Amino acid sequence: MKNPFENLDRILEHRARLQIMSVLVTNEAYDFNSLKEILQTTDGNLATHMKALEKEKYVSVNKSFVDRKPNTRYKATEKGKTSFKKHLDALETILKQRK
Amino acid sequence: MKPIEQYEQDLSSIRTIMERSVKFISLSGLSGILAGIYALIGSAAAYALIQYPLSITSYRQESVQPPSVIIKLIGIALVVLAASLLTGFWLSYRKANVHGTRVWNETSKRLVINLSIPLLTGGIFILILLSNGHYGVVAPACLIFYGLALINASANLYEEVRYLGYSEIVLGLICAALQGYGLLFWAIGFGVLHIFYGALMYHKYDR
């Protein structure tokens, strides 16, 4: 049998990134500040993870201004959604095999 | 590769985050109880205005009211609505502060949109009915559209809200079949049901 660990997504092995993707697959879109609030993290930390996810094309970004304040909204791309699902499936297989 | 326990923790951490990213948890059950009390006070005022000295359960024959009475009724309804909304905002703001979150975030925005679509549709529909003199359908239409709005928004709220929505719709349909008892059903739907479900939610989540 194939090693299920090979199916894990290298990017999503970071817990914070997995959490970000989980919010973006359950919601159509989410803004930076609300994400920060839910993950209870800092601006810098979240920005770093978002950059990484953006670079992998797991998320798409939409920057705009609301009341002259910058408003950044993120969406999960199809690639991001598929990778998230694959990663969860791999996790499931790993945890099942252990039992 | 990480130890297996880490992967288990990954999974359990996203479960709560996914739920919290959808649900607006700052809404307090207390808002429901207070909104219900305001609605009962408003209903009592309306009863004194249009039905007294007839008993609450008696059928009202006279359905066309002079314009001055209609304006007073609309006034009572607006005061009840404003008091309920203000209480809701204030209590949510307080609860959000306790949780260390903001009131105006992604979930509350979506909640407002999901509530507004059926409510605005219903509101305009009722105004059109009123302007054509169909007073009898106002109470059932209020209950039915409010119920639809709650069900539409229930994904962003605790699950009790969906049952409140079903109850309002059933009540609205019964009310539509028994025209002339509009005020009584209105008082049950907006008063008693709000107090009941508000107390249920308060008991379950706020204590």
**What share of chain B has pLDDT > 90, as a percent?**
55
CA of residue B131 relative to chain centroid, distance: 24
Check: CB of residue A75 under 8 Å from CB of residue A62.
yes
- Please give the Cα distance from B175 to B164 (Å, whole number): 16
Q: Determine which of A6, A25, A26 to mutate to test the interface with B (most B C-beta atoms within 10 Å).
A: A26
**What share of chain A has pLDDT > 70, as a percent?**
97
Q: How far apart are the first and last CA of chain B?
A: 42
- Please give the Cα distance from B195 to B186 (Å, whole number): 13
Output the pLDDT for position B3: 78
Output the pLDDT for position B63: 55
Output the pLDDT for position B64: 57
CB contact under 8 A, B10 and A91: yes
CB contact under 8 A, A37 and B1: no
Domain segments of chain A as ranges: 4-98
Confidence at B62, pLDDT banded by 50, 70, 90: low
Confidence at B60, pLDDT banded by 50, 70, 90: low
Confidence at B67, pLDDT banded by 50, 70, 90: confident
Check: CB of residue A33 under 8 Å from CB of residue A77.
no
Output the pLDDT for position B112: 93
Among candidate residues B147, B108, B104, B142, the one with its CA nearest the CA of residue B24: B108
Query: Which chain A positions have a beta carbon within 8 Å of B21's beta carbon?
Result: 22-23, 26-27, 30, 34, 38
Task: Tell me which chain B residue has its CA closest to the CA of residue A27.
Answer: B22
Describe the strand order of the beta sheet including A69-76 as a list of residue ranges: A30-31, A69-76, A59-66
Check pLDDT > 70 for residue B178.
yes
Output the pLDDT for position B182: 87
Confidence at A52, pLDDT banded by 50, 70, 90: very high
Q: Which residue has the higher pLDDT, A71 or B168?
A: B168
What mean pLDDT comes out for the span A25-30?
A: 92
Residues on chain A bordering chain B, Cβ-to-Cβ distance under 8 angstroms: 5, 8, 13, 15, 18-19, 22-23, 26-27, 30-31, 33-34, 37-39, 88, 91, 94-95, 98
pTM beyond 0.90, yes or no: no
**Torsion, CA B102, CA B106, CA B109, CA B113, rounded to 10:** -160
- Please give the Cα distance from B145 to B131 (Å, whole number): 18
Closest in B11, B20, B106 to A31, CB measured:
B106
- Specify the CATH architecture of the domain A4-98: Orthogonal Bundle (1.10)
- Please give the Cα distance from B117 to B12 (Å, whole number): 35
**Torsion, CA A49, CA A51, CA A55, CA A61, rounded to 10:** 110
CB contact under 8 A, A22 and B18: yes
ipTM over 0.90: no
Which is it for the CA torsion B164, B31, B94, B111, positive or negative?
A: positive
Check pLDDT > 70 for residue B125.
yes
What mean pLDDT comes out for the span B121-148?
A: 92
